[in-house]
Structure 1
């Protein structure tokens, strides 16, 4: 799983390579938002604000250019790629 930081917060993109379904970890994180990255505890929150989503997705695409193509594929399949912000717990 690739992630990047926005300030101190890790950001996760549930791209699943642009496939029609979300990756299994996305469902798990939604059901159980308390998680660990390495040995650090975090709480995950799905980004729902449209402006923030677009800003973070643009940052993600700079970290990994493939996200732009994955987004096109996912959109064609009727799926919006979830983005999660992790905050320290």
Structure 2
């Protein structure tokens, strides 16, 4: 299995013109350089912060099981008020 992978890399390198003659040591060096490059890319990808804006909750404001939940005030500014009466008036 490993020999077939090495042969495929060697064929690819020969087709691209990277290797003029069949040299197994050169293929090994090329594979090692590619592996190091992939490791560097993976380390950079893991080290960079995510693009999402999710932040952790503040430790002093964490919700505890005994903390009462805040109730919504319907008269607070910003809450829409219904325009129609709560009960429909009869037409008669």
Q: TM-score scaled by structure 2? A: 0.28
Q: Which has the higher strand share?
A: 1
| Structure number with higher relative contact order (C-alpha < 8 Å, ≥ 6 residues apart) | 1
Q: Which has the larger radius of gyration?
A: 2
Q: TM-score scaled by structure 1? A: 0.29
